[in-house]
Amino acid sequence: MDSLNELINAFSSLPAIGKKSATRLAYFILKSDRAIAEKLAHDLLLVKDTIKKCSICGTYTEADVCHICSSINREKVICVVEQSQDVEMIESTGEYMGYFHVLGGVLSPLNGIGPKELKLDRLVDRVKNENIIEVIIATNPTLEGDTTALYISKLMESYGTKVSRIASGMPVGGDMEYIDKQTLSRSLKGRTAL
C-alpha cells in the first residue's frame, strides 16, 4: 500500500517520531473518521499560510509585528532566546515584563552558524535605538548556548548596556543524588546570599 507507506514516511520526518510511532499514527488515521485527517491537513497548511516571523524580534506571529513588540508599556529590557517557543515559556512565568529577541538558533561554527546567520546585528541595532537598559541572555545552558551568550555580551560591551545571563543550577524539586556534576558545580558557583 504505497499511500500508507508515504504517510508513514511523512510522519517519520517529524521530530521524535520513529518508524514505529509513525506506523501507529498512520493506522490511526486509516481507522478513524476522515474529518480527523482533514482537520490535520487543513491546519498544517493554515499555519504555513498565516504565521510569519515578527519583523522586530523574530518570534512567530500572525501580524507584521508581534503583540509584545507592539506593546509600549513594557520595560526597556530585551530577553534573548534561542527560539519562539522560549518566548511562550518565559511569558508563561508571568515574571518578565520586557521585550524579546529570538535568535532562531545558537552559534555553531561546525554547522556553519555564525553571527551573520543569527542576524546579531539586528539585536545590536535594537539595543542602540530602543534605549535598552538591560539585555538578559536566556539561551540554553549548553556549550553552544553559553558560547552564544559570551559572544553577545562581548558585542554589547561598547554600548554600556547591562548584560546578564539567566541562572543555571539545580531545577526545583531536583535531588542532589541524581544531578550531574556540571549542574551541581554551576549551582555552587552561582550561589546567592540568603
Tell whether residue 97 is a contact of a copy of itself (CB under 8 A): no
Count of residues that bind a copy of itself according to CB under 8 A: 47
Q: Is 38 in the site for a copy of itself (CB under 8 A)?
A: yes
44 binds a copy of itself (CB under 8 A): yes
Least gap, CB of 74 to a copy of itself (angstroms):
19
Which residues face 162 on adjacent strands?
A: 134
Cβ-proximal residues to 113 (8 Å cutoff; 6+ apart), any chain: 105, 106, 107
Q: Which is nearer to a copy of itself, 113 or 133 (CB)?
A: 113
Cα maximum dimension of the chain: 66
Angstrom distance (rounded) from CA 170 to CA 155: 29
Nearest to 91 by CA among 61, 51, 131: 61
Among the listed ranges 37-45, 109-117, 123-131, 168-176, the one in contact with a copy of itself (CB under 8 A) is 37-45
Q: Does 60 bind a copy of itself (CB under 8 A)?
A: yes
Instruction: Return the C-alpha cell found at 101.
Output: 529577541
Which of residues 34 and 181 has its CB atom nearest to a copy of itself in the complex?
34
